[in-house]
Amino acid sequence: MSPDFSHELALQAQGFARIAGVDEVGRGPLAGPVMACAVVLDPAHIPEGLNDSKALTAKRREALTAEILRTAEVSIAEASVAEIDTLNILRASHLAMVRALQGLSRLPDMALIDGNLLPRDMPSPGRTLIKGDALSLSIAAASIVAKTTRDTLMMDLAQQFPGYGWEKNAGYPSPAHKQALLDLGVTPHHRRSFKPIHNILYQAKTISD
């Protein structure tokens, strides 16, 4: 099953002319921000091959990201590690989604949000779509750009903090990443509210005490 434009067309038939697809990436990693993207596709210039970002290779995602940026209106936003630790990961991911919508040149008439919960303080009307990145082309486009942008950020951070394998694992809890935490310790980019990080810090504090 591939995403299509039927959800957007149905909304347009109801009078919602400007539709944005919104998705986030980065809820599961132990390190790095959570990233969100809002995309308003041009129905006359939809890049071919849009799909759930997880179903695409990194090379294909990069090529599609360039096409999406060329043909659509795109806004990218994030919530920081500090915000994740303060708010919790769900609220932080929703905050990033709201920021992405606010970053568009003008708000959409309707936002299609991947998932089953609408963020609080939505700046525009919104509807949720479970597994939306596999159903809606607008959400699929947002998932691709968000994933590519976050992966690039984690590659940059990997240069500053080598040894954790972020250029390969993007901060997710791979065996190599977890071993590096034990060997090298916790960085400022690790999410202290996440249990594996919290446990390491607690153990270190207990030993020092």
Structure tokens at 12: 């347009």
Confidence of residue 209 (pLDDT cuts 50, 70, 90): very low
Total structural domains in the chain? 1
**pLDDT tens for residues 130-160?**
999 999 999 999 999 999 999 999 999 999 9
Residue pair 100/38 in contact by the 8 Å Cβ criterion:
yes
CATH number at residue 70: 3.30.420.10
What domain range is 72 assigned to? 6-159
Q: pTM of the entire structure?
A: 0.94
Specify if 96 maps to a domain.
yes
Specify if 175 maps to a domain.
no
C-alpha angle 12-4-10 in degrees, rounded to nearest 5: 20
Specify if 109 maps to a domain.
yes
**pLDDT tens for residues 51-62?**
999 999 999 999
